[in-house]
Amino acid sequence: MKSICIIPVRMGSSRFYGKPLKKINGLAMAHLCYNNANKAKSIDKVFIATPDKEIKDYFRKNNIEVIMTSIKHKRASDRTYEALIKIEKKYGKKISYITMLQGDEPMINSKMIDKAAYSLIKNKNLGCVNLTSIISSIKEAQDKNLIKVVMDKNNNALYFSREPIPNSTLEKNDNFFKQVCVMPFRRAFLIKFNRLKPTNLEKKESIDMLRFLENNIKVRMVLVKNKTQSVDTVNDLRKVISLLKKNK
């Protein structure tokens, strides 16, 4: 078990309470994320990390391994770190690569997960990778639930924001990029993330990766062409159900 995927989920989303267990085509959303990760060739085993009994009961009923974590975490990456430590203690071995997949990204498929994970595994100079894709509309670029990113010439992230970046004057032909929430870490870098104190911009934007950027640690962005939609609201859930039906 060298490479694992951890899906951090909780019931208490301020924008959409209980969303991990909301049904998409008869299956809980986080369960759909689990199934997609479980098909990835780069992943040896997938775990659910949660502080909530409802989520624990659902997944254990479906014979999926759940790691119980503290309710106090404000960042998914910190929850993922706690889960990693408990997994290593349980199995008696250190994990080399940890891919964090957000449990509200049911349109992220196994090939996208593999692209992110292999980008990290094959390049020893990288400690953390995020996927990114082109924003499809001006409306999407203005959505504060959507995390935007700007990059340097080597595809390293310069900044993440919930505001439109690189500027607020949007043109139809501009390419704006969003974060797609698949985040592989080398073990040492996930540990480093947890040991660093939460940073000012991280707290203001509510974006994990800014903790790395503010400490001068690179985050490599890897472009995918797939259409994705995270679920932050009830309307997002309806949109995903419609998109998945079309894709099928």
Q: Is residue 244, in this structure, part of any structural domain at all? A: no
Q: Is residue 106, in this structure, part of any structural domain at all? A: yes
Q: Are 125 and 137 in contact (CB under 8 A)?
A: no
Beta strands in 22-102, from DSSP E residues, in sequence order = 23-24, 27-28, 45-50, 66-68, 97-101
Q: How many residues belong to the chain?
A: 248
Q: Is residue 245, in this structure, part of any structural domain at all? A: no
Residue span of the structural domain in which 95 resides: 3-112+119-128+180-219
CATH code assigned at 212? 3.90.550.10
Q: Is residue 232, in this structure, part of any structural domain at all? A: no
Q: Are 51 and 32 in contact (CB under 8 A)?
A: no
Summarize pLDDT for 219-236 with one digit per residue, the tens: 999 999 998 999 989 999
Q: Is residue 142, in this structure, part of any structural domain at all? A: no
Q: According to the model, what pLDDT value does residue 166 have?
A: 85
Low-confidence ranges of the chain (pLDDT < 70): 14, 168-174, 248
Q: Is residue 209, in this structure, part of any structural domain at all? A: yes
Q: According to the model, what pLDDT value does residue 203 have?
A: 96
Q: According to the model, what pLDDT value does residue 175 have?
A: 79
Strands 129-134 and 177-180: antiparallel
Read off the pTM: 0.94
Helix (H) or strand (E) holding 179: strand 177-180
The alpha helices in 62-185, defined as continuous H runs, are 76-91, 110-121, 138-141
Number of folded domains that form the chain: 1
